[in-house]
Amino acid sequence: MYQKDQKVFYVTGASKGFGLSLTNQLLERGFNVAATSRTKEQLIKAVNSKLITEENFIALQVDLTSDESVKKSIEHTISKFSRIDVIINNAGYVQCGTIEELSDKEVRDNYECNLFGVISVIRHAIPYLRKNKFFANGPRIINISSIAGYSGASPAFSIYSSTKFALEGLTEGLNADLKEFGIHVSSVKPGYFRTSFFEKGSVSIPLNPINEYTAVRQVQDLHANQINGNQAGDPEKGSKVIIDHALSENPTVHLFLGPDSIKYAYLKIESIQNDIKLNNEAASSTDFTN
């Protein structure tokens, strides 16, 4: 049994950070939640037990790099709740380092979690979302991206940033693909929030660093030793905004989350506009008619 009159959320990476905050707030607001983590025991221990009942919550141990594991988790969710109303793809981690430093495995592992895991979840959820008539304004897919998926100009994060840029393109294209079914797809681009994001287990450093990359090491050390634990963003406030966005009548495709995210977005827009202006004459002379 479950609370039939309440929406069903499926949240990945729910044992810490934004995922945990989202899960607790959703349960507190009376929603049904299917939460995933690599370790089920850690997830159950992390979520506020006072908010959990047999009817409103299911903890799922999921390996996002395994399509079969993801498929089973979606099936378990449908078996318990009969539907899914909102997908929140939150799981992910930071891979520091440059292309020259990182092995093929380090790069591919980051893509497997940050991008292909998301694709797997969406692929298996879409058949149920397309049939979902419970959510009057249409089911939602919320992809937790990063401002690094819009502005990738910082040293040390080129691979991580590229996974999030890919997620941005996926979100925009998927929103167009699913529009005819009334399914809304959004990406959330947080700035710096005070979560465990830059702590061990959420960030990976190069196994074979190259000393010549001094700027990269400086930025890497800055995040580990100064920024970590001092971020201005409050994850509880950020989670509320994400949930409210997911429940809004017509959620926008893009949600820049946090004053710093908005600032970096405007700087990127200004940079693009300047580049267009500088190259406009030459770039506009390429048609057959010119």
Q: For strand 184-190 and strand 8-11, is the pairing parallel, antiparallel, or unpaired? A: unpaired
Global confidence as pTM: 0.93
CATH architecture for the domain at 8-278 = 3-Layer(aba) Sandwich (3.40)
Per-residue pLDDT for 1 more than 60? no
Determine which one of 160, 192, 213, 264 is catalytic.
Answer: 160
Give residue 40's pLDDT band: very low, low, confident or very high (50, 70, 90).
very high
Distance CA 81, CA 173 (A): 29
* Every domain of the chain and the residues it spans: 8-278
> 278 or 195, which is more confident?
278
160 is catalytic: yes
CB-based contacts of 119, cutoff 8 Å, min separation 6: 170
Which pLDDT score, from 0 to 100, does residue 279 have? 97
| pLDDT, tens digit (0-9, with 9 covering 90-100), for 255-269 | 999 999 999 999 999
Backbone angles phi, psi at 234, to 5 degrees: -95, 115
> 94 or 230, which is more confident?
94
Per-residue pLDDT for 224 more than 90? no
| pLDDT, tens digit (0-9, with 9 covering 90-100), for 42-69 | 999 999 999 999 999 999 999 999 999 9
Which pLDDT score, from 0 to 100, does residue 223 have? 76
Distance CA 216, CA 31 (A): 43
| pLDDT, tens digit (0-9, with 9 covering 90-100), for 2-16 | 566 799 999 999 999
Contact 257, 39 (CB under 8 A): no
Q: Which two tokens stand for residue 22?
A: 């989202």
